[in-house]
Structure 1
Amino acid sequence: MILVIVSALIAVLGGFLGSGAVVGTPIAEAAGGALSATATLVAPAGPAFSIWSVIYAGLLAYAVWQALPAQQRSARQRVLRRPIAATMILNAAWILVVQWGQVFLSVVVIVALLASLAVVFALLIRHPGERTSTAATAVDTVVTDGTFGLYLGWVSIATVANTSAWLASIGWTGGATLWAFVVLVVAALVGLFLARVSGGRIAQALSLSWGLAWVAQGRLAGENVDTVVGWTAALAAAVVLVGTLALRVTARQRR
């Protein structure tokens, strides 16, 4: 319980540092601008990153929720606490690494973060919330499943952008449009896979399609225009969202 609270505070502090509001350097300007909205063809446009405010609010809400007396006795929360704390610490570590200017190391950390979130997602599916009351079930669905679904979906597209930024930083420029096309198709397939294994859970699809839509906006307007990548990202966003909704309806009909 305490571990999650401390980890959430560290994550939020790291996010504050990464915003550059008072101390630190904004992520878009850190590491020589390697992670800016125009650095690569798969970088989401700037407004996409506002989703972090929702995720951080969710992390704080979860830290409070899991500390409540009823949740302290929850078998589900006992299973989730340590993996969730790991995602929060890795989040802060990623920001510190980027502030340090280490783009390759940031890829290592974000891949570890993505893997940790995948573990949390699997545990959420394997250990559904206890049906104690309608209100408690609704809160748990939003605060636990919703927060970490959004977190996973966003970090999925962020991992693509981060990896591409590292490749660009070491001078890899071959087939930029083809590379972007391939990784966006893979991102869409990952979104459909997550929807399939989760029975149509929507949170991760919302954040992944959000990120893809802002990749599309960034490539169809602004400084780094590429219409092939832009329309591929737009189509990928639609496929993830519509495909997840279809799988959700199918899963409910089967139940």
Structure 2
Amino acid sequence: MDTRFRKILVIGAVAFALAAPASQALLGFGLSASAFAGQGDSTLRAVGWAFSIWSLIYTGLVAYAIYQALPRNDGNPRLAALAVPSAVAIAGCGAWILASAFNARWLSVAIILVSAVSLSWALVRTPRAGSAAVGERLCVWWPLGLLAGWLTIATALNILTVMTAEGLLGGLARAAAFAGIVAVLVAALAGLRATRLAAFGAPVAWGLIGVWAAERAAKADVAALALGAAVLVAAYAAWQLRPAGRGG
């Protein structure tokens, strides 16, 4: 891949991901993300503060865009391999804001699903040098791992939200909530095992704690499952930090 194209692609994707929510906040068009989710969050939801993780994710993505554009990284094969799938996922964050703003429910599902799969697959397929510089770990692998992990749990919540809003669950809502949490747990553990990247698990555990906080009053059983899943994911993510592993 041409180095200049790679740099422009990633920077453009990050700029779009930041501009979409900022422009919506300034211009006030369409539904906010919370209003969109509120149409169908009776099956499974996360408490509002859980979404504050986006501040950390956005900060990491800016660091990633800057790091990959530095001249000293022009010949880095890992950055070249990650460029397109990461740009797809990052731009998908902005596209999701627009889709949800205009209440394009199934489009929002397609966008977040493609984003999650694209980035997760890239993190699995791209080999990391065992001696990767601290800067690369902090500015590439951790930001992308955080985004991939968050998209994993956000995909499940988005799918359940849309299915609920469309009236597709009926009396199966409680079972769907359980299934959603189990699916997130399985995906998170599989992702951690494949990527050996602790940053992948951290936002999943955080999101599951957010689900526990949101559901513990009305759905104690669902909340308990979410909390148990969060503990398992956090423990396995911590395991990836052991010196013998290649996790970051």
Fold conserved between structures, TM > 0.5? yes
Name 1:218's counterpart in structure 2: 214
Query: What's the CA shift for 1:76?
Result: 1.4
Q: Secondary structure at the match of 2:146?
A: helix
- State the alpha-carbon separation in 2 of the partners of residues 6 and 129 from structure 1: 27
Deviations 1:166-212 (A, max 9, x none): 1111112222112111221221122111222223x211111000000
Deviation, structure 1 residue 127: 2.4
Question: 2:3 is matched with which residue?
Answer: none
Residue 233 of structure 2 is aligned to residue 240 of structure 1: yes
Contact 1:191 1:205 in 2 (8 A): yes
2:195 is aligned to 198
Aligned CA distance change for structure 1 residues 252 and 30 (closer, same or farther; 3 Å): closer
SS in 1 for 2:191: helix
Structure 1 segment 19-30 matched on structure 2, within 5 A: 20=25, 23-24=28-29, 25-30=31-36
| CA distance, structure 1, for counterparts of residue 65 and residue 35 of structure 2 | 30
Aligned partner of 2:137 among 133, 136, 141: 141
The 1-side partners of 2:161 and 2:139 are apart by: 32
- Is this contact kept in 1: 2:198–2:240, CA < 8 A? no
TM-score, length of structure 2 as denominator length: 0.88
Which residue does the alignment assign to 1:104? Answer: 106
The one-letter amino acid paired with 1:118 is S
Kept in 2, the 8 Å contact 1:129–1:141? The answer is: no
Deviation of residue 251 (structure 1)?
A: 4.9
TM-score, with normalisation over the residues of structure 1? 0.86
> How many Å apart are 1:245 and its aligned residue?
2.5
CA distance in 2, matches of 1:71, 1:246: 30
Q: State the distance in 1 between where 2:161 and 2:36 align.
A: 12
Question: Letter of the aligned partner of 2:44 in structure 1?
Answer: V
How many residues were matched structurally?
238
Structure 1, unaligned runs of 5 or more: none
Q: Does the 8 A contact of 2:202 with 2:237 survive in 1?
A: no
1:149-228 map, 5 Å: 149-171=145-167, 172-199=169-196, 201-221=197-217, 225-228=218-221
Which runs of structure 2 are paired with 1:1-150 in the superposition (5 Å)?
A: 1-17=7-23, 20=25, 23-24=28-29, 25-30=31-36, 33-34=38-39, 39-123=41-125, 126-129=126-129, 131=131, 137-150=133-146
Aligned equivalents of 1:250 and 1:4: distance in 2?
A: 31
Residue type at the aligned position of 1:114: A
Per-residue deviation at 1:119? 2.3
- C-alpha distance in structure 1 between counterparts of 2:178 and 2:220, whole Å: 11
Please report how far the alpha carbon of residue 30 of structure 1 lies from its aligned counterpart in structure 2 after TM superposition. 3.5
RMSD value, Cα: 2.1
5+ unaligned residues in a row in structure 2: which ranges? 1-6
Deviates more, 1:82-91 or 1:59-68: 82-91
8 Å Cα contact 1:111-1:159 kept in structure 2 = yes
Q: Which runs of 4+ in 1 moved over 6 A?
A: none
